[in-house]
Chains A and B, each alone.
Chain A
Amino acid sequence: NAGVTQTPKFRVLKTGQSMTLLCAQDMNHEYMYWYRQDPGMGLRLIHYSVGEGTTAKGEVPDGYNVSRLKKQNFLLGLESAAPSQTSVYFCASSTWGSGATDTQYFGPGTRLTVL
């Protein structure tokens, strides 16, 4: 039981390049989330999903797209990376229903640098 996994762990991009971050969970959770964490800012929600085939915008969605084609996977895409997207990205999942009131389980994070 791996919990929540993320790939890659590290990545360096040049401005304008694109990439996809993959999150996978093996806990059969309905809800999945993508956050970014910047110094002094706390975690901020980018996008989330309440089930397979659904996605919704969070607090800071601009510049990102997501897809949830399978229940266990949640992909975060950057179409044209900008230096402002340099951050640590965390994926999380939670069980069901109310989402905001459930315990969230986090992946180990992806450290992205955009030059």
Chain B
Amino acid sequence: RKEVEQDPGPFNVPEGATVAFNCTYSNSASQSFFWYRQDCRKEPKLLMSVYSSGNEDGRFTAQLNRASQYISLLIRDSKLSDSATYLCVVGRNTGGFKTIFGAGTRLFVKA
């Protein structure tokens, strides 16, 4: 079993739709959580960090559930420009330095 698991998708949604991605992690010692965005054939870029209290950045909302060990990303009012792969990332420094990237969830937003 992978340490960080995501639904690979693809998710195909129309413009204006709300879409949610989930990610689960297996190591309870994980300390930090992020969502990165990766456009086709480009490098990953930080979308947002994920905090225990949940956090929002415009149309994007991230949630963390430590008890169930999952992270979510909600995108409201999808735009064509949101089409990309979304990477769930988990980090910890216990038991050695580790940053684990999920394989990503592909999103296609259609006009």
**Minimal Cβ-Cβ distance residue in B for A45:** B99
Stretch of B52-60, B73-81, B89-97 with 4 or more beta carbons under 8 angstroms from chain A:
B89-97
Q: Which residues of A contact B97 (CB under 8 A)?
A: 48, 56, 99-100
Quote the shortest CB–CB distance from B74 to chain A (angstroms). Answer: 21
Task: Tell me whether A100 and B98 are in contact (CB under 8 A).
Answer: yes
Task: Tell me whether A42 and B99 are in contact (CB under 8 A).
Answer: no
Contact residues of A between 33 and 58, Cβ < 8 Å to B: 33, 35, 40-45, 48, 56
| Dominant secondary structure at the B interface | strand
B-contact 0/1 string along A69-99, CB 8 Å cutoff: 0000000000000000000001000000011
Task: Tell me whether A101 and B102 are in contact (CB under 8 A).
Answer: no
Residue among A40, A59, A90, A100 with the highest chain B CB neighbour number at 10 A: A100
A interface residues, how many (CB within 8 angstroms) = 23
B interface residues, how many (CB within 8 angstroms) = 25
Quote the shortest CB–CB distance from A83 to chain B (angstroms). Answer: 21
Q: Which of A35, A41, A98, A104 contacts B93 (CB 8 A)?
A: A98
List residues of chain B with CB under 8 Å of any chain A CB: 2, 4, 8, 31-32, 34, 41-46, 49, 87, 91-93, 97-104
A-B contact sample (16 more), CB < 8 A, given A106-B43, A109-B42: A35-B101, A40-B103, A41-B103, A42-B2, A42-B4, A42-B87, A42-B102, A43-B101, A90-B43, A99-B91, A99-B93, A100-B31, A100-B91, A100-B93, A105-B46, A106-B45
List residues of chain A with CB under 8 Å of any chain B CB: 33, 35, 40-45, 48, 56, 59, 90, 98-101, 103-109
